[in-house]
């Protein structure tokens, strides 16, 4: 202590105050690797009084293993460089803690390097926390990369900051091709880009915290994928701008499967015509367009005559061929907007809608009988054979006023049975 200035501290006392305030251990080592100074914390780590450490070499205090580690580092310090590294070692009363060691050149007033100064801080908790954070980040990154979803992180300008490897297969772009690009530019083709941009702006403005949408996306090779987007916003905090996390699922196969299921639910799998359910749905939709009284609706119910004989004689495969050809012939007779359906084994229904539906139905039933009466050439066991069937056709009519689809079909069915009872292969 300086007697002239009661607040002045000598160097040793100052270093001890520094140690007490920061927990740092300090030492000064000359070029012969001998300790010239150690503070109380450093001495405690050496398990000896400070005065006993003075004059000892680093080798004497730490052993050969430590010397092997630090010799290359000290050589860099002797060359004028400051070096910081982390290792496990003794500090204070902890014999196996993570410590951060900084070694700086000890220079004379003239700039000559006399040795090095070490400053050691305990960083155990920080190191453990950092390692846990790194491990958690690596696990999360592994989950992201192994996810069937593509993961994108966007900044507040919707530029891609990060992208998972899944983007290559799903979007047709390598991650490095997307990073740095605005996702709205990647999806610039029509409504898809517009829908996504609108959803992102809703997140940016704070109106929504999360959003979900589905868009079509054209890949670089021209293939079109149906993508489901799950978006969530991380609001701005301090100097950190808002970011958006995007999880993208390719739902193309799912949508195709749904379409196929809807198709199978409303279509006959053999002929491709509407089935009874599809007939009713399409007829209702058709009749909703007949509010104008100038339109009329006709229904023709067709039952094949002699079809059972074909089945019994040539087998079900031959019967299926007759049904497929019948569907083709009926479809060829109607106009766009009309409905053709197979509603039973050998039963078909046609629904017509226009201003002359009554007249057209009367003409069409004649043409149906003539068309189906024509011989069928079908293949049975690699052989081509001729088959013959006829048709009984019942017709019902109704104006556009208060059309009841079920009743319309029911009356056409009844008319068809009257034809059957009257001798078949006729129309009524």
Number of other residues whose CB lies within 10 A of the CB of residue 408: 21
pLDDT in tens, 214-249: 988 888 888 888 999 999 988 877 767 788 988 999
- Give mean pLDDT, residues 181-187: 83
Give per-residue pLDDT as tens, 128-143. 777 777 776 667 666 6
Q: Cα dist. 313→331, 385, 387, 388 in Å? A: 27, 11, 10, 12
CATH number belonging to domain 147-255: 3.30.450.20
Reply yes or no on whether the pLDDT at 266 is more than 90: yes
Q: Are 1 and 8 in contact (CB under 8 A)?
A: yes
Q: Reply yes or no on whether the pLDDT at 112 is more than 80.
A: yes
Task: Supply the CATH classification number for the domain 267-422.
Answer: 3.30.70.270
Q: Which fold has domain 11-127?
A: Beta-Lactamase (3.30.450)
Q: How far is CA 109 from CA 113, 114, 311, in A?
A: 10, 10, 114
Tokens of 283: 């007829």
Fold agreement (11-127, 267-422): no
What average pLDDT does the chain have?
84
Strongest mean pLDDT among 58-62, 193-197, 286-290: 58-62
**What's the confidence (pLDDT) of residue 159?**
92
pLDDT over 60 (residue 319): yes
User: What is the predicted pLDDT for the residue at 350?
Assistant: 96
- What is each CA distance from 387 to 134, 366, 405, in whole angstroms? 77, 21, 34
Q: How confident is the model at residue 339 (pLDDT cuts 50, 70, 90)?
A: very high
Enumerate the domain spans of the chain. Answer: 11-127, 147-255, 267-422
240: helix, strand or coil: strand
Q: Judge whether residue 7 has pLDDT over 50.
A: no
Q: What is the pLDDT of residues 17-74, one digit of tens each?
A: 555 545 678 899 999 999 999 888 888 888 889 889 999 999 999 889 889 989 999 9
Look at 72-86, 162-176, 181-195 and tell me which has the smallest mean pLDDT: 181-195
177 or 382, which is more confident?
A: 177
186-204: average pLDDT = 76
Sequence-distant (≥ 6) Cβ neighbours of residue 239 within 8 angstroms: none
């Amino acid at each position: 202590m300086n007697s002239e200035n009661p607040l002045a501290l000598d160097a040793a006392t100052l270093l001890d105050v520094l140690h007490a305030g920061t927990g740092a251990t300090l030492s000064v080592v000359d070029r012969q690797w001998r300790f010239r100074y150690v503070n109380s914390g450093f001495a405690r780590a050496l398990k000896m009084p400070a005065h006993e450490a003075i004059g000892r070499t680093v080798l004497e205090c730490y052993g050969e293993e430590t010397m092997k580690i630090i010799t290359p580092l000290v050589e860099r310090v002797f060359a004028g460089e400051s070096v910081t590294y982390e290792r496990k070692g003794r500090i204070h009363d902890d014999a196996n803690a993570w410590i951060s060691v900084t070694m700086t050149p000890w220079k004379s007033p003239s700039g000559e390097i006399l040795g090095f100064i070490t400053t050691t801080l305990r960083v155990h908790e920080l190191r453990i926390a950092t390692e846990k954070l790194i491990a958690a980040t690596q696990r999360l990154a592994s989950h992201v990369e192994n996810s069937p979803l593509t993961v994108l992180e966007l900044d507040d300008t919707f530029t891609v900051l990060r992208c998972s490897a899944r983007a290559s297969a799903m979007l047709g772009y390598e991650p490095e091709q997307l990073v740095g690009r605005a996702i709205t530019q990647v999806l610039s083709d029509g409504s898809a880009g517009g829908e996504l941009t609108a959803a992102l702006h809703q997140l940016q403005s704070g109106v929504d915290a999360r959003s979900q949408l589905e868009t079509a996306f054209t890949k670089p090779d021209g293939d079109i994928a149906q993508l489901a987007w799950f978006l969530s916003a991380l609001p701005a905090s301090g100097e950190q701008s808002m970011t958006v996390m995007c999880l993208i699922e390719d739902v193309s196969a799912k949508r195709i499967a749904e379409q196929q299921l809807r198709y199978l639910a409303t279509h006959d799998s053999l002929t491709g015509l509407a089935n009874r359910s599809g007939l009713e749905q399409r007829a209702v939709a058709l009749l909703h367009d007949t509010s104008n009284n100038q339109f009329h609706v006709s229904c023709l119910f067709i039952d094949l005559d002699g079809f059972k004989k074909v089945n019994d004689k040539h087998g079900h495969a031959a019967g299926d061929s007759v049904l497929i050809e019948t569907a083709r012939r009926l479809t060829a007779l109607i106009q766009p907007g009309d409905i053709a359906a197979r509603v039973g084994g050998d039963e078909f229904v046609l629904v017509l809608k226009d201003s002359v539906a009554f007249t057209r139905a009367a003409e069409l039933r004649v043409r149906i009988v003539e068309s189906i009466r024509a011989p069928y050439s079908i293949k049975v066991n690699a052989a081509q054979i001729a088959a013959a069937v006829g048709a009984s056709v019942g017709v019902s009519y109704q104006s556009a006023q208060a059309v009841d689809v079920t009743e319309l079909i029911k009356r056409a069915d009844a008319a068809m049975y009257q034809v059957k009872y009257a001798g078949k292969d006729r129309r009524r």
